[in-house]
Structures are given as structure tokens and as C-alpha cells.
Amino acid sequence: MARAENKEMASPTAKLVADVAKKSRVRKKLTQDQLGKGIGFSAAAVSAMETCAQPASDEMLAGLERALGDGMGLFEQARIYMRMEAYLPQFKPHAPLEQAALSLHLYSMQVVYGLFQTEDYARALIGGGYPPLSEQRVEQLVEARMVRKMLFDREPSPMIELILEESVLTRFIGNASIMRAQMRYPAECARRRNVTFNVLALDCGKFGEYTGARGEITLLETPLHEHLVYLEPQDESLLISDPAKVSTYAQRYAKIRSQAMGPRESLALIEQLAGAEE
């Protein structure tokens, strides 16, 4: 939502985008209404962007690149920096690693991993957290989270595997409608050739083995084939590169995977749970 006080809090990138966009629009002799119509936004939205009352969204930046970019790629590059500025501080170091990763192996035991969240689920989750956030900040974080999904369609395609605790699928975030859509979304993602989805069943420990008790794990492989571990406990972040430690986490992850259902069983379970909410 555009607010006057946002002007003082605008990031350096938002201010640069506003300045360049306005000067480029004036140079091309376009009114705010004409520019807005050309990129699918109202004149009020263009005005809010130019005054920093409402920073340009990812979608608006793409439109500005088409209308005002002149092939220079400035607004396209600004999309990267705007996304980085929108993330929570603890996630900022991990964000570029995630987007460039050759492979991601994810274990999530509290909520659905961010890449696999629907917009409504993310909004309910972020908006219901602590400390409370303003409506604008919630929307900013939701948009930043949704933009991460571009990773699914990146070339070359990264290999992505998600192991999700069954309890996550039965923990209501938002309402029944939101949960139905959220439960179906990982199944949709799993139809991609580069995505695998597994569920760790509630009763997986009945035979005396449960390796997931120490918390969530993100394993990633960089373009230089370096293997890293990313952990995010209680609003803190930890990036581990020590080969011995990474090996331990990788082996623990492999053990968790061995205790989880296979992809077909997992999809059957999630479809069953989604159907139960009809």
C-alpha cells in the first residue's frame, strides 16, 4: 500500500529506480497515465513508484524495462537488487546461493519450505508471525518469496528434492481453503522433471528410527560444485562450508530420506489429505 512515510524509508535501489524511471519517462514524453497503460499499471501506481510512496514491484520493473530500458538492462538488474533488499536479513546471504544452485536438498519439519509455498499460505504465515509486521512489509516479503520460484524454470534446471514432515500438511496455516491449495501445490511441483517430493510419515519412528529430530536442513551445490549447508534457527542463519561438517549433514539427510515415503506414496498421501478437506 502506498504511504507518504514510505518515501523516507525507501531503499537506495527504490530511489534510484524512481529517479531513472521518471527521467526516462519525461525524456520519452510520456505521461504517467501513458506509461502506466503501456506496462499494465495505473497512473497512480506510476506516481507512487516515482515518489517512492510504493516501491516498484517485480512485475512493474519488468514492464519498465520493456518501456523505458532501451536495451540497457538497468531495470532488469534492479529487479535483482530489489529482491535482495526485500528479504529478511538472515536470508539475504542465502538468496543468491539458492538461485544459482545446481541442486537443492531440503528437509522441512515446521512449515512448507518457502519455494513450495502458495501466495496465500505465505501471506498467512508471514502475517501471523512475530514480531508483527505492517501490511506493506508482509506484501513485500510475500512477493519476494514468490519471486524465488523462478528457480524452477531456470536454465540449466536445478535438481530440487523436498522432504516434508507429514505434520506440516496437517498444521493449519490460514484456513481450510488455503490449506487445500497448499497441499496440492507440492504435488504440482513434483510433476516437474527436476523436482522430487517425499513425505516423512508421522509413524516413521515406530520401528525405532527417526533421524529428523535435530531440525531442518538445506543442502546445496554451487555452480563450482562446492557443497554447502544452510540452517536458519529462530531468525538466525548459519552457512556451513567445512567439508567434514557438510558430509555429516549430507549423511543425516540421506538417512532421513531413507525413512521417508517414496515420491508416489507421498503424492498419494497428499492427495488423500487434500481430498479430506473438501
- Does residue 72 contact residue 86 with C-beta atoms inside 8 Å? no
pLDDT tens-digit readout, 239-251:
999 999 999 999 9
Could you give the angle at the alpha carbon of 40 between the alpha carbons of 37 and 45, nearest 5°?
Answer: 85
- As a whole-number percent, the residues of the chain with pLDDT over 90 amount to 72
Q: What is the pLDDT of residues 94-152, one digit of tens each?
A: 999 999 999 999 999 999 999 999 999 999 999 999 999 988 889 889 989 998 998 99
Identify the residue whose cell numbers are 479430506: 276
Which residues does 25 contact at the CB level (< 8 Å), separation at least 6?
A: 32, 35, 46, 50, 68
Inform me whether the pLDDT recorded for 4 exceeds 60.
no
pLDDT, average across residues 28-43: 96
Q: Is the pTM of this model over 0.85?
A: no
Cα separation, 76 vs 87, in Å, equals 18
Question: What does residue 208 show for φ and ψ, rounded to 5 degrees?
Answer: 95, 5
pLDDT of residue 1: 47
The gap from C-alpha 249 to its chain's centroid, in whole angstroms, comes to 23
Most confident of 21-30, 146-155, 202-211: 21-30
In the prediction, which pLDDT does 212 show?
A: 93
> What's CA 102's distance to the chain center, in Å?
17
| Arithmetic mean of pLDDT, 262-274 | 87
Residue that wins the pLDDT comparison between 273 and 248: 248
Q: Give the pLDDT mean for 240-265.
A: 96
The rounded distance, in Å, linking the Cα atoms of 36 and 63 is: 9
pLDDT at 51 over 70: yes
Average pLDDT, the chain: 91
pLDDT in tens, 59-90: 999 999 999 999 999 999 898 888 888 888 89
